Structure 1
Amino acid sequence: MAGLITRRAALASAALLPLAAHAQAAPWPSAPVRFIGLFPPGGGTDILSRIWCAKMADITNQQFIVENRSGSGGNVGTHAIAQSRNDGSVIGLASVSSLAISPTLYSSLPFDVTRDFSYLGGLWQLPNMLVVHNDVAARSIPELIALLKANPGRYSFASSGSGTSVHLSGEMFKQMAGVDIIHVPYRGAAPAHIDLLAGRVHMIFDNIPQALAAHRGGTLRALAVTGAQRSPQAPEVPAMAEFLPGFEITSWGGVLGPAGMAPALVNRIASLTKQAVETRKVTERYIENGATPWPIGPEELAAFRAADAARFAPLIRASGARVE
């Protein structure tokens, strides 16, 4: 009798093996995915992130729920990604701000950019755009530099937070133009724009999607973009490098997960990310918003991050900017 039970149990177990193997091999995602954004809703990176999440939902037939965790130049949300389960249920935005700028700008961080994350793939690259309040008496970069030099410490520039590319663009401008302007950090670009439109601050080097919309709508005046060349989306706006040779800062975004994700899961997310970014709909929407699609893989993203961090470190140190 005992032998019969043993044989029956063995047969039952054998019958269940294919089901267990199928469950283990269930493709990601098998449930809704939380995507952690690093800045408040309405800003450039939020717009671009939601475009990608919508396409991923279409491709995978699963929900991608954007959760905005803003603060500390993207570090709050980035820390939340590091603390998440590594099963793919939570991923988030890989940002130049927290991953390439913050390691030098901040005296300490609650995460290690090389140890605490899985780099999953690139999404976009985009320049920033300098827009000023319409009451600022300057219609070109030479006029702005002359105005600022004649009024040291009187004018201010907003940013989406200390350590963002928006902040660093302003610091580079201060150094290369030899001007004294006050940095006013916010928890994201959206609240910064509210104060800029109200005239409480005078300018911002914002990611191009929101700045471009304000420029086109006439609510703010664009003076330059921070890429090496003019943006195809706003060819009438000069590159800052036309006046300050060598000036170049480009923002970027990618997909980030916590450390320890299984290689097969990393490859799966990387493949789907690339597929989504390369679709016509995402490509067109990114270009409309001034961004360049950037469908690179995990290793390329990790290497680019490291190179960017090394490039920005001397600029940050020379600027004297430091967050304790």
Structure 2
Amino acid sequence: MSEPTSGKKGAADPLPAAPRSRRAALLAWAGAAVAPFGARPALGQGTTAAPWPSQPVRYINPYPAGGPTDTLSRLWCARMSALTGQQFVVDNRSGSAGNVGATVIARAAPDGYTIGLGGIATHAIAPTLYAALPFDPAKDFTFLSGLWRLPNLLVINNDLPARSVPELIALLRANPGRYSYGSAGSGTTIHLSGELFKKLAGVDVIHVPYRGTAPAMVDLIAGRIHMIFDNIPTALAQAREGKVRPLAVTTAQRSPVVPDIPTMAEFLPGYEMTSWTCVCGPAGLPAPVVARISALARQALESEDLRRAFAGHGATAWWTSPEDIAAHRAAEQERLAPLIRAIGARVD
């Protein structure tokens, strides 16, 4: 999925300060965050008597308010509210690169009234990136539907003498270790996009991690770094203003938002790095609830108004069956694990 873009240098995740393990700290924070969301009866005492939803639904967004994931989540929740007549309330539970919010979802009651945002960061990258997690992505969630796919966009400093990916590769090969790329931090899709590029292109480029892509973009425009594989909403806005030069998107197919920009795979076969998201709930959701949420999610994601709204933010609406999104998550974890291990991106 897409990474937070906060540029507040030195800002810390809101985790308990007591000296304890990462896993214990996350569990404590998530446990405190799972507050009752209105009184609701236990399963078997009324929650499944009426078609889901018969009351407001809490949607956990594991990232801060105001970013791309928040905007896109609210668009989907608004559409779901219109379809069901029940309010879908976005609850931002950020911290530890999305792991705090994911833990809240995993620990919720399995009744369908707490669901939330999953995706590549928490459910495919985190299992390899983190030495210990307070949840098991394969066992602690019920996957309900794909939600959106969002490419990263390779943009370079305007002064760089390259106007295409082949020209950039030639420049980098002729100057090993001279150029650098920024990222939103170790293990993000922005970082992995750069490392996959280095691997497939056979180039030596220095990785400069930032605390969010906002300060990285400032340095790119100023020429202090030379390129970045940024989330398309931010990168495209800067490119359209002429502040940076766009070269390629990281998805396997061209983005319908910018169909004139080529893919990395057109020059480096096998290249793909897509920020994908999904709707998930805790493990053990009843089959009728899963089927109902999946059907409504499909209706929402296939509506023309939501597709247009997503496209306006660089995203492509993406419905899948619950079975397909669970299989996709597992395949993505397996695909990315060797790359994460190879670059030594490990958080203890």
Instruction: Specify the TM-score bucket, using the shorter chain as the normaliser.
Output: 0.7 to 0.9
Q: Partner of 2:246: helix, strand, or coil?
A: strand
Q: What do the CA deviations read for 1:245-274 (whole angstroms, capped 9, x no partner)?
A: 221222211101112222222222212111
Match of 2:297 among 266, 273, 283: 273
Of Structure 1 and Structure 2, which has the larger fraction of its residues in helix?
A: 1
1:181 equivalent in alignment to 2:208: no
**Matches of 1:268 and 1:132 in 2, distance apart?**
45
Q: In 1, distance between residues paired with 2:263 and 2:47?
A: 53
TM-aligned CA distance change 1:277 to 1:314, over 3 Å: same
1:70, 1:188 within 8 Å by CA — same for their partners in 2?
A: no
Write the distance in 2 (CA, Å) between the matches of 1:194 and 1:41: 21
Within 5 Å, which residues of 2 pair with 1:211-230? 211-230=235-254
Identity level (%): 60
1:4-23 paired onto structure 2 within 5 Å: none
1:257 maps to 2:281:
yes
Deviation larger for 92-101 or 219-228: 219-228
Q: Quote how far apart the aligned CAs of 1:184 are.
A: 4.3
Residue type at the aligned position of 1:122: G
1:15 maps to what in 2?
none
Query: How many residues get paired?
Result: 305
| Number of the residue aligned with 1:9 | none
| 1:62 match | 86
**Distance (Å, rounded) in 2 between the aligned partners of 1:198 and 1:32:** 47
1:100-133 CA deviation, whole Å, 9 max, x = no partner? Answer: 1221222222210111111111112232211234
Stretches of structure 1 that go unaligned for 5 or more consecutive residues are 1-19
What does residue 52 of structure 1 align with?
76
Deviation at 1:242, TM superposition (A): 2.5
Report the AA paired with residue 93 of structure 1. Answer: L
Q: Tell me if the contact between 1:119 and 1:302 (Cα under 8 Å) persists in the aligned partners.
A: yes
The 5 A counterparts of 1:30-45 are 30-45=54-69
Q: How big is each residue's C-alpha offset from its partner over 1:42-77, in whole Å with a ceiling of 9 and x where there is no partner? A: 443333222211211211223222233334433232
Contact 1:72 1:187 in 2 (8 A): no
Q: How far off is 1:244 after superposition?
A: 1.9
CA contact (8 A) 2:172 2:204 kept: yes
Change (3 A) 1:316 1:85: same
Kindly report the root-mean-square deviation, in angstroms, between the aligned alpha carbons of the 2 structures.
2.8
Three-state SS of the structure 1 residue aligned to 2:149 is: strand
Give the aligned partner of residue 322 of structure 1: 346
Rounded Cα–Cα distance in structure 1 between residues aligned with 2:98 and 2:310: 21
* Partner secondary structure for residue 53 of structure 2: coil
The letter for the 2-side match of 1:29 is P
Runs of 4+ in 1 over 6 A off after TM superposition: 20-23
CA distance in 2, matches of 1:155, 1:78: 36
Native 8 Å contact 1:96 1:164 kept in 2? no
| 2:267 aligned with 1:243 | yes
Q: Report if the CA contact (8 A) 1:39-1:187 is conserved.
A: no
Q: Using the alignment, how far apart are the partners of 1:203 and 1:68 within structure 2?
A: 31
- Deviation, 1:211, is 2.4
Residue 29 and residue 183 in structure 1: after superposition, are their counterparts in 2 closer, same or farther (change >3 A)?
farther
Tell which structure's C-alpha radius of gyration is larger: 1
Partners in 2 of 1:92 and 1:190 — Cα distance? 26
Query: Which of 105, 122, 129 does residue 98 from structure 1 map onto?
Result: 122
Alignment-derived partner of residue 284 in structure 1: 308
Please state whether the residue corresponding to 2:280 is helix, strand or coil: strand
Distance 2:224 2:99 in 1: 26
Q: 2:51 aligns with which of 1, 24, 27?
A: 27
Preserved CA contact (<8 Å) 1:70 1:187? no
Native 8 Å contact 2:47 2:111 kept in 1:
no
Distance 1:110 1:134, change over 3 A: farther
* One-letter code aligned to 1:60: T
Secondary structure at the aligned position of 2:128 is classed as: helix
Judged with a 3 Å threshold, the aligned counterparts in structure 2 of structure 1 residues 65 and 196 are, in CA distance, closer, same or farther, namely farther
Instruction: Provide, for residues 161-181 of structure 1, a one-character-per-residue CA deviation record: whole Å limited to 9, x for no partner.
Output: 433322211110121223333
Q: What amino acid is aligned across from residue 255 of structure 1 in structure 2? A: V
Conserved? CA contact 1:34–1:65, under 8 Å: yes
Query: Which stretches in structure 2 are left out of the alignment for 5+ residues?
Result: 1-43
* 1:303 CA drift (Å): 1.0
SS of the residue corresponding to residue 85 of structure 1 reads coil
> Residue 263 and residue 128 in structure 1: after superposition, are their counterparts in 2 closer, same or farther (change >3 A)?
same
1:199 positional shift:
5.8
